A and B are shown apart, each in its own frame.
Chain A
């Protein structure tokens, strides 16, 4: 199980960096879905399969909601043109590298606080939180903001699963994930509302 957990951490690293670098929305949705699978593996270390699967099902449903909404919009989202922040992949890769280093440094200390959740779980959770925050920091596009928030929450859920096994919390967190995706979809449609109107 430990080897599997480290494979999940590698998967999360690839998907979260992929989310930062990808420009095509289809890749964003694919990376997000894969990220939830990595999250499932890490959650399984502390939760039974039945409860852990709630997280991945809610995550995949959220990704599907975002993907279906984006697929119905024009090829280029209006907000995708508005970003004033650096577009360069090298810049984002460098920033992601810094996050990875910070996570590697912080993991032992946080793991001690987290009642020894396990290095893999702690580093996976922190990595998701760090990458999500980085994502939120470098974009104001609604699709990416939604994905950034969902990534931060995914990281938090991985860590929180080690200390809290309440069914109510699992249900509410799943509801919040779906709510975030629905709110993101709503804002995505709203942000493209004028594009659809005839000139």
Chain B
């Protein structure tokens, strides 16, 4: 028995078996239970250590050889897998409520397995190939075969595919830099190629125009899932580059580049979100800003930045899950997601409207909500490095808060004598209610997730130590 078989190959087989299933509830429950079991196993079953299971003594090996290369899940990566599969379970359990289970459960499980493979593959730069496979699997997830695709999905495919060659090339160039560290020109070339690859992959400004387009074209719940899993695993893959190459880690230019890229995403994401009149586009720009927060965390001293980076993950997963489910419910009750069409919906879909506003406020660093502790820590540490950068971060957050308050105002602007209704069904109400409680719990008791996060920096050899 080995870890890659349990957390990569088994989910792929289960996903393939689930492809022909058409029952929304069965898919949602099976997918959710499988991912929860995988998350629990990742958190509690030790890798590379013998343990007793009844009469049996079991040891799970960390690696599996595939075509001359290795897939390896290190013992320290257990908590990360628990977070990834745990967050995937959020989407799968919510899939029935969003009526997307037939697509998101099988394809989502395949995508999650490939993203885990991207963390596990050695040499680690081959991760780009697995990420590209996940991107290709996203195409049938995002659009139905009987519905003309928009331009967003085509741009998504182009940008994400172009990332792969740049990253593979940069990996080869970086090896050359290691061999001859004095070659400044080669170092600059490899860093530029690497930067361009990650700019495509993480949708760094100006390569993020596909995100708002997709939010208008595709089901919000599905886009929300992709906006969580793709940047999350990619940013960990990026941190792996910093961990692997000491000259990259110690380069002041790279720190500046990460800081500028992160701030640019937060400021443009925040300001664009503040000026939008479409709920889907607001979520798109807020998720762009969210990725900016993660990039900014990477620019800090790794001993502080890496724990903040991991602290951002659960809040992002929960926030996006609640936000995208709320948008799905609102979309069912409104012709479009434009402000003009969703005015006053708070009175007809109160759970979805409240969930939407709370998730938006959480992303905007509103106190006592899930996103607040990580953003506060980020802001505080950034201000020690550069007051100017902290000011720009504040501007971005003001933009995000403005978009949240505008959303709240529009949703609550009902005609005076409109009666209150409960437009959500019981399942949607329960899922949204639990999600909102989770947003408060993560905001009020951030130490709750420390149990999962405290050992995560150990997955890196140099970062966060």
Chain A residues packing against B (C-beta within 8 Å): 78, 113, 129, 136, 140, 142, 145, 149, 152-153, 156, 159-160, 163-164, 166-169, 171-173, 175-176, 179-180, 182-183, 186-187, 189-194
Contacting A183 at CB < 8 Å: which of B66, B130, B157?
B157
Asked whether any CB of chain A lies closer than 8 Å to the CB of B252, the reply is: no
Contact between A172 and B133, CB atoms less than 8 A apart = yes
Q: Is B136 an interface residue (CB 8 A)?
A: yes
B168: chain A residues at CB < 8 Å are 156, 160, 164
| Interface contact B136-A168, CB-CB below 8 Å | no
CB distance from A114 to the nearest CB of B (A): 9
Which residues of B are in contact with A by a Cβ distance under 8 Å? 66-69, 126, 129-130, 132-133, 136-137, 139-140, 143-149, 151, 153-154, 157-158, 161-162, 164-165, 168-169, 172-173, 186, 189
Q: Is the CB of A145 within 8 A of B189?
A: no
Closest-CB distance, B163 to chain A (whole angstroms) = 12
Report the minimum CB–CB distance from A61 to chain B (whole Å): 15
CA distance A180 to B161 in the complex (A): 9
Knowing A140-B154, A167-B67, A172-B126, the reply to whether A194 touches B148 (Cβ < 8 A) is yes
A176 touches B68 (CB 8 A): no
Once bound together, how far apart are the Cα atoms of A191 and B139, in whole Å? 13
Report B-chain residues with C-beta under 8 Å of the C-beta of A173. Answer: 129
| From B69, B132, B139, B186, contact of A186 by CB (8 A) | B139
Contacts of B151 in A (CB 8 A): 140
**The one of B66, B136, B157, B162 that contacts A152, using a Cβ cutoff of 8 Å:** B162
Contact in complex: B149, A142 (CB < 8 Å):
yes
Give the contacting residue for A190; candidates B129, B149, B162, B173; CB below 8 A.
B149
The residue in chain A whose Cβ has the minimal distance to the Cβ of B145 is A190
Contact between chains at B148 and A145 (CB < 8 Å): no
Using A145-B154, A160-B168, A179-B136 as known contacts, say yes or no to A189 and B145 having CB atoms under 8 A apart: yes
- Bound together, the chains give a CA A186 to CA B140 distance in angstroms of 7
Q: Which residue of B lies closest to A193 (CB)?
A: B146
Q: Shortest CB–CB separation between residue B220 and chain A, in angstroms?
A: 19
What separation, in Å, do the CA atoms of A85 and B165 have in the docked complex? 27
Contact of B148 among A78, A129, A140, A171 (CB under 8 A): A78
Flag if A149 contacts B66 (CB, 8 Å): no
Nearest chain A CB to B147 CB, angstrom units = 6
Known contacts A113-B189, A166-B67, A186-B139; can you find 10 more A-B pairs with CB under 8 A?
Answer: A113-B173, A152-B161, A156-B165, A164-B168, A166-B69, A168-B69, A169-B129, A172-B133, A180-B161, A183-B140
Contact yes or no, A186 B145, CB < 8 A: yes
Complex-state Cα separation, A45 to B151, whole angstroms: 39
Contact yes or no, B126 A176, CB < 8 A: no
A179: chain B residues within 8 A (beta carbon):
132-133, 136-137
A-B pair number, CB within 8 angstroms: 94
Interface centre among B161, B165, B172, B186 (most CB of A within 10 A): B161
| Cross-chain contact B67 with A164 (CB below 8 angstroms) | no
Roughly how many angstroms separate A193 CA and B35 CA in the complex, as a whole number? Answer: 34
Supply 9 A–B pairs (Cβ within 8 Å), ascending by A.
Answer: A113-B173, A160-B169, A168-B66, A168-B67, A179-B136, A186-B145, A190-B148, A191-B149, A193-B145
* Most central of A113, A173, A175 by chain B CB within 10 Å: A113
Most buried by A among B144, B154, B162, B189: B154
Task: State in angstroms the CA–CA spacing of A129 and B169 once bound together.
Answer: 13
Q: Which residues of A contact B144 (CB under 8 A)?
A: 190
Measured between alpha carbons, how far is A156 from B139 in the docked complex, in Å? 23
**Chain A residues in 8 Å Cβ range of B161:** 149, 152-153, 180
Q: Are B146 and A168 in contact (CB under 8 A)?
A: no
A-side contacts of B154, CB under 8 Å: 140, 142, 145, 187
Nearest first, the 4 closest Cβ-Cβ pairs linking A and B are A179-B136, A156-B165, A168-B67, A172-B129
Cα A175 to Cα B67 with chains together (Å): 14
Residues of B within 8 A of A78 (CB): 148
Please name all residues of chain B whose beta carbon is closer than 8 Å to the beta carbon of A182 when the two chains form the complex.
136
* Residues of chain B lying within 8 A (CB to CB) of residue A172: 126, 129-130, 133
Assess the B143–A190 pair: CB atoms within 8 A. yes
- Are A191 and B148 closer than 8 Å at their CB atoms? yes
Q: How far is the CA of A113 from the CA of B137 in the complex (A)?
A: 34
A145-B136 contact, Cβ under 8 Å, with A78-B148, A172-B129: no
A149 touches B149 (CB 8 A): no
Within the complex, the shortest CB–CB distance from A175 to chain B, in Å, comes to 7
Among A153, A166, A190, A194, contact of B68 (Cβ-Cβ < 8 Å): A166
| Shortest Cβ gap from B183 to chain A (Å) | 10
- Closest residue to A182 on the B side, CB-wise? B136
Q: How far is the CB of A163 from chain B (nearest CB, A)?
A: 5
Residue of B nearest to A176 (CB): B132
A164's contact among B146, B153, B172, B189, by CB below 8 Å, is which? B172
Q: How far is the CB of B403 from chain A (nearest CB, A)?
A: 29
